[in-house]
Chain A
Amino acid sequence: MNIFKRHSTAEAVSFKEVLSTYEQPLYWHIRRMVVVHEDAQDVLQETFIKIYRGLGSLKSSEALKTWVYRIATNECLRHLQRKRETALSTIDNGEMLTASLMEGEHIDYDKEMEMKFQKALLTLSENQRLVFNLRYYDEMSYDEIHATTGISVDSLKVTYHNAKEKVKHYMTEN
């Protein structure tokens, strides 16, 4: 018996298939949110354990993408929340993550433009950054982002627009 085969009501979905399809997109989604490679690694592992636990109760494989992204996003937000709570200083997550970006490992500092762009993203609120990343990097439709985050489509459009303007402003002013 394949131990990783769990059956949903709609059709059989193999955990290994989900892992192969989503491990890299989810890693990059998580990495853009938590910045530090080691943190992204831990969050990714926790995400897949939760995916494994819940895969059997997934109603439709059509919802798989937004479902796995929702789990990953929740794990990211939980991680950032924990980091905020355990931080000794009063600096916010944006500043903390910018510090990690500036002195972390597994970051190519020669890519100046990309570095600046990531710094610009870290000036956004957590929500704005999440919406921007899902739309810009993961190329999700607003409906998919709505299914992932639970934020209404109208709010998402406004949030993405504001985030984009803020990033563009940072890029031209700095």
Chain B
Amino acid sequence: MSLYVYLYGVIPTPEDGDNPFSSHKGIDNEHELQMKNYGDISAVFCHVEEEEYGEEVLQEKTNQMDWVQEKAFHHHEILMNIRERTALIPMKFCTIYQSEANLDDMVHNHQDQMKALIERLDGKEEWNLKVYCDRDQLSKNVADHNLNIKEKKDEIAQMSKGRQYLESRKLDQYVQQEVEREQDAFGSALHEQLTAYSVEDTVKKNWNRDVTGKDEEMCWNSAYLVPLERVEDFLEIITNENEKHKSSGWILEATGPWPAYHFAKLT
């Protein structure tokens, strides 16, 4: 059985040429992390057994949740570790080659691009922002402060029972629309402030409660690539805004620094 190659990421070649990661075990908990030098850039990888990481086996394993969880976290831990020392192009989970020769080919084909990407990522950190809100509280705030809604409520109170029912339903729908608009406006405004400090950004999908496991609703989800010298200011905005809007039911959550998962792109 042959040895496959599990690739974690690509880094600038360390000046002393030593492999700083040799003390780490790889994804199979057996083979050590290795570094292979390609001139200016180096690949960080580990060997894995074909019978454990071949296509068919992996197909099965990726359906086992505990396996995915353990290995995804391992992948992430290693990348976090590398990121602390050096600029890094993080690979997607389970990027595997059938031989070192195949890895060599891939790196050679992308060498210039990778070098340029590493230079672009160097000296910057990825930070993620998630905004949550207490939807009930926000609905109440909107209903209390929106003059259209207040007026409409008074109108409805004067109507016949049957019409009251229908009109109330319509009004409820309108309130929910306004709430969604408010959520979007809040996120966009915050996002605009933050992009002044970042060199790149991306707005992501909001996850529903089944995914987040939170009581509050996610209403903004974004990632930023922030130059090191601006990280403090960037985070200060989030802290301040969070303080300011906490009482109205908004929760701002910043996490980082991450490996530049969202901003490392090769074509």
| A and B interact | no
Q: Measuring CB to CB, which residues of chain A are less than 8 angstroms from any residue of chain B?
A: none
